[in-house]
Amino acid sequence: MGLLVNLKTRYSSWFQGDVAYTWSHTIDDGIKGAGTSILFGSTFPTSYANGFYRGDRGSASTDQRHRVTVNAVFAPTFSHADNWEGRYLANGWQLSVISVAASSQPLQPTISMSSTNAPNSNMFQTSTLNGLGGSFRVPFESTSALDVGHFVKTDARIVKQFPIGERVKLNVGFEAFNVFNHLIVSGASPRQTQQYTAAKITSTGAVNLVPFANYGLITATQMPPDGTTARRAQVVARFLW
């Protein structure tokens, strides 16, 4: 379910822009999240309890409650004189800005367990507490207990157009991505989701859950097409004819 609000200003002599706000809530039964698969074609169940997918119901890994996007284009006319100063210096400038601010998406906290720490070596799968081999999530935590982190990013471009002839023009510009160099946590595994390590008590066969020190640690800040979310810039040139 969701809600979309959009305010738009049509192009005038020097400005156009729009603001869009989206509220949404995505819920699923744990078919996509940390330690699970989006497909049901695996060799073992993807739920924490065998066949009980409603037990994994919660906010999906794609859930993002709030998102605001602002677009603006500024193309002012500084001089109305038809001379070389007006054509080559004062006029022909354009500034474009797009800025996005969004709330965090969720991750599932998980438990790391090995065959040596399993309470019973005869379990079907010794990689999970219940021996099922399905989800690795922490059963007593919310399926969306860990936040990836909020998203803030501003891209900008400034372009100067030089008329070369009656039909030919040259655009020279400077583009910057993530202008304010905000930290953007992103990627296939953006944070350390392991919250506990299973430790077997040899004398009793019971398993203790030991808190993992690196839980929630940032592990990736990757984003296509450049493979990074850090600030970067480039110079562009374009001929129009």
| DSSP category for residue 61 | T
Question: pLDDT tens across 153-196, in order?
Answer: 999 999 999 888 778 989 999 999 999 999 999 988 899 999 99
Q: In angstroms, rounded to a whole number, what is the distance separating the alpha carbons of residues 92 and 171?
A: 9
Tell me the residue length of the chain.
241
Read off the tokens for 83: 């001379």
What pLDDT is attached to residue 177?
95
Question: pLDDT tens across 29-55, in order?
Answer: 876 544 444 555 555 567 777 778 788
The arithmetic mean of pLDDT across residues 194-223, rounded, is 87
Q: In angstroms, rounded to a whole number, what is the distance separating the alpha carbons of residues 90 and 84?
A: 9
Question: pLDDT tens across 70-95, in order?
Answer: 999 999 988 888 887 877 888 889 99
pLDDT of 240 higher than 90 = no
Q: In angstroms, rounded to a whole number, what is the distance separating the alpha carbons of residues 138 and 35?
A: 10
Q: Answer for the pair 107, 191: CB distance below 8 angstroms, yes or no.
A: yes
What pLDDT is attached to residue 33?
45
Question: pLDDT tens across 109-162, in order?
Answer: 999 888 777 777 777 777 787 777 778 889 898 888 999 999 999 999 999 998
What pLDDT is attached to residue 148?
94
Question: pLDDT tens across 58-70, in order?
Answer: 888 889 999 999 9
What pLDDT is attached to residue 34?
43
The dihedral through the CA atoms of 223, 187, 57, 52 has a sign that is: positive
Distances, alpha carbon 144 to alpha carbons 40, 62, 104, in Å = 21, 11, 11
